[in-house]
Amino acid sequence: MRYTNLIIIGLAALMLSACGQPRFQVEGSVEGAEGKILYFEQQGLGAVTMLDSQVLKPSGRFRFKAEVPAYPEFYRLRLEGKSIPLAVDSAVHLMVHSQAEHFNSDYRVEGSEICLQLQELLQLKQEVAARYDTVNASFRQKEISQDAYIEAIRAMADDYKQQALPFIYGNPRSAAAYYALYQRLQRLLLFNPNDHTDNQAFAAVATSWQQFYPESPRTANLVRLTLSGMSQIRKERQQSEAPAHTPEVVELDKMHSFDITLPNIFGQAVSLSSLEGKVVMLDFTAYQTDYSASRTLTMRELYNRYESYGFEIFQVSLDTDEHFWKTSALNLPWICVRDQNSLRSTYALQYYVQQLPTFFLIDRHGNIAARDETIKDLEKEIVRLLREK
pLDDT at position 242:
59
Q: How many CB atoms lie within 10 A of CB 301?
A: 10
- Among 201, 210, 212, 156, residue whose Cα is nearest residue 177: 201
Contact 314, 281 (CB under 8 A): yes
Domain 245-387 falls in which CATH fold? Glutaredoxin (3.40.30)
CB environment 136-172: b (16+ within 10 A), e (fewer): beebeeeebeeeebbebbeebbeebbebbbebbeebb
pLDDT at position 12:
46
Q: Which residues of the chain have pLDDT under 70?
A: 1-20, 240-256
pLDDT at position 258:
86
Provide φ and ψ at 204, rounded to 5°. Answer: -65, -45
Task: Report d(CA 83, CA 326) in Å as an integer.
Answer: 31
Q: Which CATH number fits domain 16-108: 1.10.15.40, 2.60.40.10, 3.40.50.300, 3.40.50.620?
A: 2.60.40.10
pLDDT at position 198:
95
Contact 337, 270 (CB under 8 A): yes
Class of residue 45 by CB neighbours under 10 A (exposed 0-12, middle 13-18, buried 19+): middle
pLDDT at position 243:
58
pLDDT at position 188:
81
Residue 309 CA, chain-centre distance (Å), reads 11
pLDDT at position 69:
95
Cis-peptide, bond into residue 166, ω within 30° of zero: no
SS3 of the chain? CHHHHHHHHHHHHHHHHHHCCCEEEEEEEEECCCCCEEEEEEECCCCEEEEEEEECCCCCEEEEEEECCCCCEEEEEEECCEEEEEEECCCCEEEEEEECCCCCCCCEEECCHHHHHHHHHHHHHHHHHHHHHHHHHHHHCCCCCHHHHHHHHHHHHHHHHHHHHHHHHHCCCCHHHHHHHCCEECCEECCCCCCHHHHHHHHHHHHHHHHHCCCCHHHHHHHHHHHHHHHHHHHHHHHHHCCCCCCCCCCHHHCECCCCEEEECCCCEEEHHHHECEEEEEEEECCCCCCHHHHHHHHHHHHHHHHHHCEEEEEEECCCCHHHHHHHHCCCCCEEEECCCHHHCHHHHHCCCCCCCEEEEECCCCEEEEEHHHCCCHHHHHHHHHHCC
pLDDT at position 47:
81
Contact 92, 24 (CB under 8 A): yes
Q: Domain spans of the chain?
A: 16-108, 121-233, 245-387
- Among 341, 289, 351, residue whose Cα is nearest residue 314: 351
Contact 54, 62 (CB under 8 A): yes
pLDDT at position 14:
42
Strands 73-79 and 82-88: antiparallel
Mean pLDDT, all residues of the chain: 89
